[in-house]
Amino acid sequence: MASFHLPAYQTALQTIQQSQLPHGGFASQPENQPRTDSTAWAVLALSAFDISDDICDRGRGYLQTQQHKNGSLSFSSNHPETSWPTPIAILAWHGVKQFQTAQQRAVEFLLDFTGAHFEKSSHSAIGHDPSIRGWPWVAHTHSWVLPTALAMTTLQIAGFPQHQRIDEGKHMLLDRQLPHGGWNSGNTITFGKELHPLPECTGIALQALASNTPMNQVEKSLDYVLGQWPSLQTPISLGWALLGLGAWGLRPANAEEKVLTSLDLQARYGPYSLPSLSLLLCAAQASHGLHSLFGHRSLSRQHSSSQ
């Protein structure tokens, strides 16, 4: 768990709180329009640190207003096919009774939703099996590692760890694991060459597989992230690597030090976008992967909401 009292966390949480717009949504950057993904991530980070239920509920309420009839939430209301923020919204609503129906509708959408899949031809240049179902970034396109891993993680937290889609997703992620370990966006081998792994994709895939896969099946990937760990400092890669390692009980001892260094690096990069900053804070607070953020809070909120 992160040391809440440290000024760096206080500043970061304040930044997020102050980014809330009048209708409850959060923008990615100051002076921008509210976004579903920014709002969901902001709610996750603030609630991970037990910051004001009111702010979080207003954020959740904004998300509810953005939900489409089919239960999904899209990045842009004009582009309903960009439904990749749906799993993050499900997490933001998780455990809060007044948003249970909205969450349920989003879960139903996610369980039904998949990418474009096809049988691999005998002369195909790609290494992976494109027929295995996962989740896409955008409707009608192929399934990729990040949206699949995020959907799987979310469905497990939302109470569907044994669902057939989790099994399929696991199958898909293991098929997309690189022979030498790690994941990238989702291409393993092209024209006979193994492609390079990426820490952010590997972290999130490890997070998704932590509670349903024997360690020996992902050992090389864990080694890859641990090998990358010393050089990671940017919020997305550091955040997902930390969540992935934490989910496997391998949270490095210097995790907090690295998170604080990353927060300091805003002096170099400028302020982080709200989703990146929120991811980093969630990773700081989640000692055993994203799942560990929900245990105590979801129960207490459910209890208090029903009183």
Partner 1 sequence: MSKIQMPQVTPALSRRELLKASLIGSGMVFSGFSLYQWLHGPLQTAQTFIGKAPNYQINFPTLILAGLRELGITAAEVQGKRILLKPNLVEPHKGLPHINTHPLVVQGAVESFLRLGAASVVVAEGPGHRHDTLLVLEESGLADVLYEDHIPFKDLNTMESHPLKNLGRYTNMDTLVFPQILQTVDWIVSMAKMKTHHWAGATLSMKNLFGCMPGNYYGWPKNVLHSEGITESILDITATLKPHLAIIDGVVGMEGDGPIMGNPIQSGVLVMGKNLPSVDATCCRIMGIDPYRITYLEKADQWLGPIRDSLIEQRGERWGTVHTPFRLQPDIPAHQGIRLG
Query: Which chain residues interact with partner 1 by CB under 8 A?
Result: 28, 32-33, 37, 75-76, 78-79, 82, 84, 116, 125, 136-138, 140-142, 144, 146, 184-185, 187, 190-193, 195-196, 198-201, 232-237, 268-269, 273, 276
- Nearer to partner 1 (CB atom), residue 169 or residue 235: 235
Minimum distance of partner 1 from residue 307's CB (angstroms): 39
Minimum distance of partner 1 from residue 266's CB (angstroms): 10
- Nearer to partner 1 (CB atom), residue 68 or residue 163: 68
- Nearer to partner 1 (CB atom), residue 125 or residue 215: 125
Minimum distance of partner 1 from residue 284's CB (angstroms): 17
Give the C-alpha separation, 185 to 146, whole Å: 7
- Nearer to partner 1 (CB atom), residue 47 or residue 276: 276
- Nearer to partner 1 (CB atom), residue 32 or residue 211: 32
Minimum distance of partner 1 from residue 186's CB (angstroms): 8
Minimum distance of partner 1 from residue 193's CB (angstroms): 4
Minimum distance of partner 1 from residue 201's CB (angstroms): 8
- Nearer to partner 1 (CB atom), residue 93 or residue 240: 240
